Every structure is written in structure tokens, then in C-alpha cells.
Amino acid sequence: MPVMDGFEFLQQVRSNPQLHDRIVIVASASVFEIDRHKSLDAGGNDFLPKPVQAETLLELIQKYLKLDWVYDTDRTQNQNVEVIPDAMHPPEFAILQQLAELARDGEMDEIVEVAQQLLQDANIEAFGREIIRLAEACELKQLRNFIQHYLAESPN
């Protein structure tokens, strides 16, 4: 932070009567245990190392908000359906390259935008739906592998 560091910010939060009892989860890229202890000593309720792991974040949210997560089992089961790549027709090579580049950069929203355009062509609609499913589920590794499979098979 340009004006103050996180420790000063925590001290100000804890000294403010309206905010002193709020839950504060400190996130830091520091790997040093001393920084974790300093964050907790300065008033943080918990520490979240960066890069933030979604599962760890959700556990902390559950802990401090006293939540019980309810999962949509139908959706979860459908997300685990394996699609056989050879049963689909891919789009042209240039689109595959574009998707591969977006996947390499982790640009999930842009991937979904490109894939939605594929839904308009009945020949490649199944491919587009699979790309959207993988992107919306944030299955980046599977998405990259899926696209790479078709790039490898493409005659260019």
C-alpha cells in the first residue's frame, strides 16, 4: 500500500471502535513465519498465504462466518463427465491457436466469449460447449490439454 503498510493498517482498524471487532484475514506473499506472526500480533485474525488457494480461502470464510457449504451434487457429477475428444469436430486451426494462447494466459472470460461464438455452428457446437464447461469450472490444466489435443491433430 502506498500510504501505509499492512501492519499500520491493522493497527488503525483495531483502534477504530466501529471496526475493532471485525474479522481481518491477512494475505501476503511472504513465506517467512515471522511475517505471519507479525500479522497476527498486529491484529489479524488469520493469515492467508499468496498465491491464494481457493480451498484455503473457502475454509477461512467458513470458519469465520460459521457457514456450512451446500454443494449442488447434480452439477458436480455432470462436471466430472469425461468427453471423448475424438467424438467432436474442432474449429479451424486459427481459432484453436487463439484458444490455446488464451488458455496459456489463463484468460477464462475471453475463452468463454470465443467458445460461445462456436455454439452457432452445429458442427463444432459440442467442442464449444466443452470449452465453456472447462473454463467455467476453472479446469485450466484440462482445458489446455483438451485444446492441445486438437492442435496436435490439426493439419494446419
pTM: 0.48
Average pLDDT over residues 8-20: 90
Taking the CA atoms of the chain, what radius of gyration do you get in angstroms? 22
Give 51-92 as a 3 state SS string: CCCHHHHHHHHHHHHCCCCCCCHHHHHHHCCCCCHHHCCCCC
Which of 54-58, 85-89, 141-145 has the weakest average pLDDT? 85-89
H/E element holding 109?
Answer: helix 108-118
CATH of domain 6-65: 3.40.50.2300
pLDDT confidence band for 74 (50 / 70 / 90):
low
